[in-house]
Amino acid sequence: MARVSRSAILQDYRTRSLLESTRKIIAAHGFDAVTMDRVAAQAGIAKGGIYLYFRNKHELIVAAIEEIASEMLRGIETRVDPRASPWKRLCQLVCGQIEVMEQHRDLLRTLLLDRRHLLRRTGGGPSRRLLKYRERHELHIRKILEEGIRRRIFQPVDPAPVAFYINEMTVSTAQRRVLGLAPSSQKAEVEGLLRFLSLLLRDRQSTDPKS
């Protein structure tokens, strides 16, 4: 069993500490408030120390976003029971996504309003790393759709664009909530969205999202 060296632990701790500080600042004041000074101070590290762990400010921010994106995705995926029916899984996914996003509402307020980092390239080359998370999530939706269509549970829609739309609608719903613009409760909104999806994918006669 590999013994973890003390320095590796410290290294790891520092990295986490920096990412957490960064995330907190982003959540509280937005990307423009992320200054190396502030991050370092909050992480209890000297300013120059950040550069031992991250090449530059952009890398730090992207890493912080990636971490939270990854965590959210994991959170969503664990809420989906792989043995459930496609429709059930879709419900769990959409509902889970909104719940998870709501949990991280402070951070998401910034993340959704300010997507400058999505496409910006790093020093090394083009960096669309952040888009990967979105793609992975869409793929998840698509798999569910495909199974549902195969099993004649869903209408025979084109799974790729529909997966895209479902995700966008879910994100939009969450965004509206997070920005404080939602007209109704979370529960009502999720139900509304699921009813909408049910209308679309399932038989006209059975639009009960619970089933």
Are 96 and 163 in contact by the 8 Å Cβ rule? The answer is no
- Indicate which of its own copies, DNA, none lies near residue 164 (CB less than 5 to 8 Å, by partner kind): its own copies
User: In this chain, which stretch among 32-40, 80-88, 155-163, 165-173 interacts with DNA, using CB under 7 A?
Assistant: 32-40
Least Å distance, CB 113 to its own copies, is: 4
Which tokens is 72 given? 């959210």
Return d(Cα 197, Cα 89) in angstroms, integer.
Answer: 13
Instruction: Yes or no: say if 102 and 174 are a contact pair by the CB < 8 Å rule.
Output: yes
Q: Is 157 helix (H, G, I), strand (E, B) or coil?
A: coil
Tokens of 136: 């992975």
Identify what 75 binds: DNA, its own copies, none; CB under 5 to 8 Å per kind: none
Nearer to DNA, 35 or 103 (CB): 35
Q: Nearer to DNA by C-beta: 25 or 100?
A: 25
Q: How far is the CB of 33 from DNA (least distance, A)?
A: 7
Contact 154, 86 (CB under 8 A): yes
Least separation, in Å, of the C-beta of 148 and DNA? 46
How many residues make contact with its own copies (CB under 8 A)?
Answer: 33
Whole-angstrom distance, CA of residue 130 vs CA of residue 116: 11
Q: How far is the C-alpha of 204 from the C-alpha of 198, rounded, in Å?
A: 8
Q: Does 119 bind its own copies (CB under 8 A)?
A: yes
Instruction: Report the interface residues with DNA, using CB under 7 A.
Output: 6-7, 10-11, 14, 32-37, 45-49, 51-53, 56-58
